[in-house]
Structure formats: structure tokens, C-alpha cells
Structure 1
Amino acid sequence: MPASVDIFIPCFVDQLYPATAANMVKVLARVGVAANYNPDQTCCGQPAYNAGYQDQSRAVAEKFLRDFAPPAATTEPRYIVSPSASCVGMVRNSFTGLFADTAQQSACRAVQGRIYELTEFLVEVLGIAAIPGARLAGTYTYHDSCSALRECGIRAAPRQLLEGVAGLTRVEMAETTTCCGFGGTFAVKFEAISVAMAQQKVEYALDTGADFIVSTDVSCLMHLESYIKREKLPLKCLHVADVLASGW
């Protein structure tokens, strides 16, 4: 088991959900892994990339590679862990095209092989099935974010960890793999469609009678939570790190 990891805190988490970042660090510490945080880190470049600004995105991504370059003396894998499957998917997949046939290609591949979303790191790298002491009373339904499922292949890991939370019961909603409608700039350019998709997803969640919607991505949760709050609905959105850090 690695004694420490580097953590990447994405823009959304840093600016809007800092408690989720703190809870990820808390969960890592609970299983004996210390978190190294480089305060110079900023963004992975995804907002610019999704908006079509590849040159600007590449400039931000180059900084990401510099920020997460392992120390020269490192002799074992230096994992990068993030509470965002969306950003992990950006690094693993979109960086390939951004740095194809460039001087940074080797550094890009090295970073791609080291970055993990929190739940897949816990389950697939550390082999952890449950977080000791995690407890939250209630029922939850799970939202598979597009990035987690389609870009990173993450489906079983978060559910496995959530199964180990005492007092918590899962009820799967209909069409759990359907997009929530956020999609970054999509929500801005196609507001009516985006809101309608959020409404559909929330209605499926309400049909389960769940207390919580849980996911790996705060961007999805922010979008759903905005609709829930506007309509004054009896649901709460929680990032998986917030759940795993509950009760202790």
C-alpha cells in the first residue's frame, strides 16, 4: 500500500464543494494513506477543451503535467487521486490527442498511468471493500455519471464501498446510466434540454423513495441539486466521499 498519494482537487470541488475535498483526504487517511497537495495546481483544461479551445486547453494541460510530475527520486508509483471521474477521464483520454506527437507525450503517458478516481483507487489499487466506521442512516440511489461510466469504466467500485456504509440502503433508480443533463457548456448553450434531463433524472430518483442521490461527480450533483432546490423536493445530493466520511 502506498504511504502517500498526490491529490488533484478540480475547479468545481475547490470553488464550490471544498468539504468534499476535505472528506476525500479524511477517507484516505482512514485507510492509512497520506495526501500530498501541490498548492500550485489549477485545472486539467477540460472546460476549454469541451468548448473547442484546444490550444488554450493544451496550455492548461501542460501546467497539469508539470504540477504532477513525480519527484526525480521516486522509485515507486506516485498515484494521483481525484474526487472527480470527469477530470480523471479528461486526463486519461483527451490528453492523448492534446499531446500526440509533442515533446510532452512521454510525460502525458506517465501521468495517465498514475491517475485514479477516488473509489477506483480504493477498490482496485488498495483492494479495500469498505471504509471502517462509515455510517449514514437512510436510503440512497446512485447516479452513474457519463464520465465515470463511459470514460473511466467505473460502476462497481463506488457501489461496493457504499454497501459497506452502516445504516445505508441502496435502491437503484430507472435509467441510472442516463445523462443528468449537465455536460458543462451544454447546460449553458442548451438550457431547456439540460433542465428537462435533470427533471427526468430527479423524478426517477424520487420514484425510489430515496433520501439521497450519490455520485462520483460534483458537477452532476450540482446540476441535480439546483433543480431539486428550485422545486423544493425532498432529496439531498451527496458525493461518495461525503458519504464514506460520515459517522466518524
Structure 2
Amino acid sequence: MTALTTPHVDIHRAGDRLKTRVSWLDSKHSFSFGQHYDPDNTHHGVLMVNNDDIVSPGQGFETHPHRDMEIVTWVLRGSLVHQDSIGHSGVIYPGLAQRMSAGTGILHSEKNDSWRLAGAESPEHAEPVRFIQMWVLPDESGVTPGYEQLEIDGELMRGGLVPVASGMRKHRGQSAIGIANSDAALYVARMQAGDAVTLPESPYLHLFVAEGEVTLEGAGRLSEGDAVRFTATGGQRLSADAPAEVLVWEMHARLGG
């Protein structure tokens, strides 16, 4: 992993994302994913996947494998059931951060069927689940698979950029799930109209507008689904034009040379 030093701000609009649509899934990809491959759009910093998924009730991703990847899932609305081959099973919902370390290999499924996990007496719901799934490479390959989740809603209610998932030394002891990459951290901000945050200064930043509208200093208005890739810059002011939720990756390395 190496770092570049040429300042650059690159805006990617929501409508330009790669798309996968089937009967039960509406998925929008910020980077190359699955059958969608663009050699000029494979990652930013150490972030390889930023998928914006909507899954219909009772449907989802059947059991499938992963290896040597840190996978962070952030639910925006609805609920998502996670089950894996190392014994974890639970419901992920807004405000609950989740990380799965694939390591030497793990099988898992993700479905919009939380009523089934709760039991037959739980009423079936008809709400789609929308979540952002993000992948970063770990510092080391071949580690033992792992899982962590943490309720972080209280911190988000206090405002500002909240570290949600991090492997960086500066976040040790804070309320953030750990990831096995010492050069990366994910922040989330829930903003009301008129709120503002200052972006970190970092060799690489990835800003994703998950909900609402914001204005980025020097770049103008960003809408839901828009993303910005920063290189060798940061410190810009981000203000909310309406209630909004943003996800920000701070990264101090990149993949490749």
C-alpha cells in the first residue's frame, strides 16, 4: 500500500453508478463489482466496495463465501439478518454497526427476513431493507475470521462525525468497532438542516451521501447517492441543506503503486 500526494477532488454522481437489478435486489455500485468491471474504477484508497443495496422482504443473499476482506455493513432503513459459519446470527438495524472479518474464509447470508429469526409469532413485515456494504482489505491475509457489532445510535444523536469502524490507533478506546486495517476509519454523521461538519485531512477520503442533501465547500450541492473521492486534501466544510446522513472513510494508504 502506498500514498499519493497530488491534490484532487473527484465527484461521482448517483446516476452514474453501476447497477445490478433483479426481482428482489436493487444494487448500485460505486466501484467495479461482480459482472461490472472497469479497470479505471476498482477502488479508492483501500476502499474496494461501496454498495448501496435495497432488498425486498423475505429475500436476500443466500449463503456465500468471502476471504481476506474486512466487510462493514451499515443499515439505513429496515432490518437485515446476518448468519455465518462461525456461529453468529442476528438482526442489523439502523444505528447498529457491523463488521465481519473474512480472514481464512467464512460463509454467510444476509436476508430481509427478521420476523423468521424472531419466531413464528412475529408478524411478517413488508418493508424493504436498505443498507450500505463496504469492503476494505486487511493489513494481513490469512487471519482467523471474526465478527463484531456495536450499537452506536447514542453517539450519532450527539452530532458530528462519529467513528463507527476503525483500525487506526487514534480511535482505540472510542466507541467504534475494530477493523483489521490500521490505515482506515469509517465515520458517520446524522445531520439536521443547518448542521455542519469538517472533513478529516487525509491522503485519501471517500464521502458518500447516504440520505438527504449536503453542500461541500468548494464543490457545491451533493444529493443522495453522490460520492466524492479526495486525494491529498481534506478539511472542507460539509453542511446539510436538509436532514442527511453521510459516510466518510479516512484512509492513509491506497492499493497498488
TM-score when normalising by structure 1: 0.33
- Give 1 or 2: higher strand fraction: 2
- Give 1 or 2: higher helix fraction: 1
